[in-house]
Structure 1
Amino acid sequence: MTTAAMLTVALLLDAVFGEPDWLWSRLTHPAVVMGKVVDFLDRKLNSGSGRRIKGALAAAALVLCGIIAGKLLAAPGTLFEILVAAILIAQRSLTDHVAAVAHGLCSGLEDGRKAVAMIVSRDTAGMTAPQAARSAIESGSENLSDGVIAPAFWFLVAGLPGLIVYKMVNTADSMIGYRNERYQDFGWAAARLDDLLNLIPARLTGLLIALASGQLPRWRAIVKDARKHRSPNAGWPEAAMARALDTSLAGPRSYDGQMRDFPWVHDTGSKSASAGTITRSVTVLWQAWGLALALTVAIAVII
């Protein structure tokens, strides 16, 4: 079975089953294991002088661990490789978490804030309903790239080792890739490597969203908006989603009690996002996933 054929099955398995609680309440999820590895390296290496070099060594160690783990997990055969890939692709989980924010907002603002706090790192306690809705949409757009398209892309390129290396680096970026006193130097290598690994997938995700939502004629505007974003990669899926919904995304938000004045993506769009806007974004996420699946099937047939 080709890699593309295996990926096709993995995408479908994830879409149908997601991450069942009955399983992961009994077993440790691989993402949790990856987080523990990153935490171990952080505790052991992130101190004293030479933190930038130590961070580079930590990033190299994560890549090596990913390659080894990928080869070992692929060894039992095709079926096991498909199952591992399905576990590490998160479309169903992503859309469930984003949709939960819409359900929460329908119940009340506090429920919406609690739901969005599960998927974003910014301050949520003082969010208005539109801010909570925009946060959920932004998280869904970015994580379509990080949690679905990028893992699938690297699986196609380098099999299970490629997928696991990507997930290890992406996990590290989410834990130590911050520009603060503790991680400015130590997390630099992981953050830059994550930027590199997401370079193509983020733009591909933006393209898939634009195609799925009929916004391809506005691609130049999407590119212009994407370059306004503070992230070199997250802006692409967010800019495409902003156009798909005709809603402004990004913009000012609070981290650790400090308001940061980030630029708006698609600043002429509506700033009154709601539960209904979130629901529309979930539809676009599934449409983009469907295009990715169709592309994977086409590759499997051709190769």
Structure 2
Amino acid sequence: MSNIDFIREETAANIGNFLVGRLLPFRQKRAIGPFVFIDHMGPACLADHENLDVGPHPHIGLSTLTYLFEGSIFHRDSLGTAIEIMPGAVNWMTAGKGVVHSERTPEYLRQKDKFLHGLQIWVALPKELEFMDPEFHHIEAKDIPEWEEDTVHYKLIAGDLFGHKSPVPVYSKLYMIEIKTGDVGKIIDFKSQLFGESGLYILNGEIESGGFTYGNKQILITLDAHLCSFEMKPNTTVYIFGGEPFPEERFIYWNFVATAKETIEEAKVKWQNHQFDKVPGDDGYVPLR
């Protein structure tokens, strides 16, 4: 990946009773294009008495994207959504002026050993849409564009790229694509097909760029995606994500994203006073942190 500006390894973070690898943000880089937060969940083997239980908590000013490699999460939100997300599908929830949701191990798996592995992502909304009405969209795995080119497998999770368009209803110019090699390594050269800022996350395997080799759980970031080229070693999986950055700074506190600190302060008070909408079927409550 040419013109690499940052190289970083994921760092451990705790989300209640579950340990994740945090990819973004970090001190030197608060966003990659419109992407402001990325957690790598797992891979984790949960015993029959261990479950993912992230109770009802609020969001404002962003869209969340949940993408699983393995396992299952049951999503409920204050819009009345109650749906299980399975590997390869996309949950896209736009908070706008405010939404509350919970993420838990489904009931039928709670007494069994199970695996969980995936990505959870926040995408900031454009300033003019910060206070839009909340929305939820679930896109099945079969509806995500996939194709193979020169033995390399591509999956366009979000955005519009390489003549393909994901059905995930994004609100800004962005992309998130999965790239996998098989038993043969390949040179990947996107020439000028990417735009804005770009991050490359190595889920497994290795890539080589500029005479250096990078491996599992490393993220490479470039501030100019136009020169994106690198060599993928055999049996490697990477995720490239990014897009045009917003002109305004984004402030993040807990689960809130906004262009104004006052908006976050108002959301904090609103949550503490139990003034957000409730999640039907889940009466839990995650206190403000």
State if a TM-score over 0.5 links the two structures: no
**Greater per-residue strand proportion:** 2
**Greater per-residue helix proportion:** 1
Q: TM-score range by the shorter chain?
A: under 0.3
